[in-house]
Amino acid sequence: MSYVEVPGAKVPIRMWTDPASVEDGAMRQLQNTATLPWIKGLAVMPDVHYGKGATVGSVIAMKGAVCPAAVGVDIGCGMSAVKSSLTANDLPGDLSRLRSKIEQAIPVGRGMHREMVDPGRLFQFPTAGWNDFWSRFDTVADPVKFRRERAEKQMGTLGAGNHYCEVCIDGQGAVWLMLHSGSRNIGKELAEYHIGEAQKLPHNQGLIDRDLAVFVADTPQMAAYRNDLFWAQEYAKYNRAIMMALFQEVIRREFRKARVTFEPVISCHHNYVAEERYEGMDLLVTRKGAIRAGSGEFGIIPGSMGTGSYIVKGLGNEMALNSASHGAGRRMSRSEAKRRFTVRDLEEQTRGVECRKDAGVLDEIPGAYKPIEQVMEQQRDLVEVVAKLKQVVNVKG
């Protein structure tokens, strides 16, 4: 579909879904966002749903301002995927051992490594810039600096919630590795600190929603936030890169005889800020639950722990601010999913996938998400499909 315009107070809201299908809370968030004095564009992806602070599936372009709650607390959260030389025929019938080996290599939930992972020991890992990245930790907000040791040990870890590692198979039988994670606790603490700082500023006192508090250009608060934001985005990128390297090591060890090789890794943020130019203006573009989909750019759009995912190429649709959805998107809250579904439902909906099938991940049941095929159909003018993947192993925290 193309987009539908919903009138906004400052800019129209361009939606790649039926406005009638958007829950009231999310629509109110979007309408409030459209009132911001600094806003120049607002695009809404088909996986849109209500979010903490700001709407998930929203792309917000502002001139001279940025809203930290519109980035979210998992700064730099995103996806990575890589195609291997393995095929489905190389995989054993029982995948439980492989799942166990992945869980041993990559800490999940609140877990962390005993010692910081040394990227120099990872196979062909690009270490240029690593030391400079950590030296810049000394420049982040003072209230967060005591978290350095935890940040070091959580580098290369998965987290919980909707974060996961997967072994997938594409339509031609090729095996892919895929994972979803972000900036872990350090990103959360930096985000919460700056959201609180923004809400104290005088220019935000008259906003319709205090969660939309912004930092404005040429102020020390904006400079401090940009420093910490871009550092956290870099942390998230390194986190996924190290996890992917550890994941690849597991595969190489488990399939030694196959002499596994990998194509270049595809990686994309979907909770972040980028400096981009539209209609002759330099803007700060915030994507919360959306990926960049510039012309020819690779991206990843996952479904749920029991459905397919997609490797895509962007079509460069500027009306959507060169963006696409970040996944299927939730159709119900985590608490509602736990009320509505049972462990037996989870077992049925993840049949054929080696994964957790217990009450601890019931809120991640596929039925809690929108149908990924419908989401993909609604953004045919935003991306083209390169490959469809189906998971056979899923690891969650």
* Residues 380 and 315: beta-carbon distance below 8 Å: no
Closest CA to 327 of 286, 275, 368, 273: 368
Q: Report the pLDDT value the prediction gives residue 1, as an integer from 0 to 100.
A: 61
Structure tokens belonging to residue 11 = 């800019």
For 255-311, how does the pLDDT look when each residue is reduced to its tens digit (9 = 90+)?
999 999 999 999 999 999 999 999 999 999 999 999 999 999 999 999 999 998 999
Structure tokens belonging to residue 355 = 């994964």
- Please name every residue paired with 354 in a beta bridge, in sequence order, or none if there are none: 393
- Angle ∠(283,286,291) on CA atoms, nearest 5: 115
Q: What percentage of residues in the chain have a pLDDT greater than 70?
A: 100
Please pick, among 49, 180, 194, 326, the residue that the annotation labels catalytic: 326
pLDDT average, residue stretch 377-387: 98
> How would you classify the pairing of strands 13-15 and 39-49?
parallel
pLDDT average, residue stretch 48-75: 95
pLDDT average, residue stretch 331-341: 95
Please list, in sequence order, all residues whose beta carbon lies within 8 angstroms of the beta carbon of residue 327, skipping any fewer than 6 positions away. 47, 270, 289, 301, 302, 303, 369, 372, 375
pLDDT of residue 192 exceeding 80, the answer is yes
Q: Which amino acid is at 337?
A: A
pLDDT of residue 8 exceeding 90, the answer is no
Q: Report the pLDDT value the prediction gives residue 366, as an integer from 0 to 100.
A: 96
Q: Report the pLDDT value the prediction gives residue 397, as an integer from 0 to 100.
A: 82
Q: Report the pLDDT value the prediction gives residue 53, as an integer from 0 to 100.
A: 82
pLDDT average, residue stretch 40-66: 96
Q: Report the pLDDT value the prediction gives residue 353, as an integer from 0 to 100.
A: 97
Q: Report the pLDDT value the prediction gives residue 28, as an integer from 0 to 100.
A: 95
pLDDT of residue 118 exceeding 80, the answer is yes
Q: Has 326 been annotated as catalytic?
A: yes
Q: What is the pTM of this model?
A: 0.96
Cα separation, 54 vs 49, whole angstroms: 10
